[in-house]
Amino acid sequence: MPSTRKAYRAALLHSIADPAQVGVEASYEYFEDGLLVIENGQISAIGAASDLLPGLSAEVPIQHYPDALITPGLIDTHIHLPQTGMVGAYGEQLLDWLNTYTFPCESQFADKAHADEVADIFIKELLRNGTTTALVFASVHPQSVNSFFEAAEQLDLRMIAGKVMMDRNAPDYLTDTPESGYADSKALIERWHGKGRLHYAVTPRFAPTSTPEQLTLAGKLLGEYPDLYMQTHISENLQEIAWVKELFPERKGYLDVYDHYQLLGERSVFAHGVHLCDDECARLAETGSAVAFCPTSNFFLGSGLFNLPMAEKHNLNVGLGTDVGGGTSFSLLHTLNEAYKVMQLQGARLSPFKSLYLATLGGARALRLEDKIGTLQPGTDADFLVLDYNATPLLSYRLKQSKNIAETLFVLMTLGDDRTVLQTYAAGRLVHQR
């Protein structure tokens, strides 16, 4: 069988550690004129072009990008597929917003043709924005998961998704039962989990929309299958937290509800966590759980400011989430622009290298996939992006003033968006071309 070796020459940048743990300088690797060699869908070599070119055989095609930066594919640790059609909906905070916009929008996913259409739009939008892996909430309908995974499988994407489990405090047309939620999830797990690069996530929407019986069965599923994911929401909004206290008066707090039903663990990702306390951060870290930081959503719904320094203090794994449609953009570059402001408002700084970490290796660690994605290390999946320094006239002009890679990276994150992504590759295959 002929080898599928290809090489890409450009500036190369990737995170190799968390700056909060090793300091900024030791957290990344950068090659001003680098070469990335891909073979059979994986990265086989990375280094300075001057070092690698002499050893590369003449028949290996080399694609050269003189004015671009190659980074790992971006990782979105919290996003809602069914909310694609209501992104940017006006005027509500979380609980009213769910009832006014979200639930009616999600009801349409009972229809396979609708689910197929939105899954196609959603995946194209992710890839256009440079997101190669996402942890995805589908709707309560099993069909929504099938449509998403069918579309992702065609492109050999590494994606994680699950059917929402929701048996109370939602419209009748959107609820399941503890038994049906369990059975439907089990059937989807059997069909999709571990197929190609696809993974399944047990997905109770959030504590208020699941009965104790349903949360018990969600925990049971996690015990029955190795390597399953679990995703839900936590401590996003103050009204929501008060509601959880009313519904579960016997529990110490919001996190304790999930803890009691055995939903914490190494592949559990809790979205938002805006109002977590020190003890909750410590408990999340102790169990290997992760939090998805969703700044565009937290601003848009008026939820609050995520305390990243507190999470860092506890060595809690944190990924980045767009949360569409609570958030207003599929772009993780745009999301990092907002994350910087969240930190500024708390008197803290977010270095561009920490931002890069959150959007790549940090997200991979949150998902326990750092051996497969999130870096450009040899042996990992060839999921990577080509970011165009001349994507817009302003970006082009601004980057000409840049003195070093730190400044260049920061400008890409503050002025960049979907237009900045020239190409997206998944498993070595071109899946988006601007």
Q: Can you tell me the mean pLDDT for 159-186?
A: 96
For 403, other C-beta atoms within 10 Å of its C-beta total 7
pLDDT tens, residue by residue, 280-294: 999 999 999 999 999
For 72, other C-beta atoms within 10 Å of its C-beta total 30
Q: Which CATH number, 3.40.50.720, 3.20.20.140, 3.40.50.1820, 3.30.1490.20, labels domain 74-330?
A: 3.20.20.140
How large a percentage of the chain has pLDDT more than 70? 99
**Residue 132 banded pLDDT, cuts 50, 70, 90:** very high
Tokens describing residue 57:
């055989």
Q: Which segments of the chain belong to CATH 3.20.20.140?
A: 74-330
Q: What are the φ/ψ torsions at residue 170 (nearest 5 degrees)?
A: -150, 165
CATH class for domain 6-73+375-433?
mainly beta
The type of residue at 246 is E
**Residue 240 banded pLDDT, cuts 50, 70, 90:** very high
User: What value does the mean pLDDT of the chain take?
Assistant: 96
Q: Which segments of the chain belong to CATH 2.30.40.10?
A: 6-73+375-433
Instruction: Tell me how far apart the alpha carbons of residues 86 and 89 are, in angstroms, rounded to a whole number.
Output: 6
Residue 3 clears pLDDT 70, i.e. is over it: no
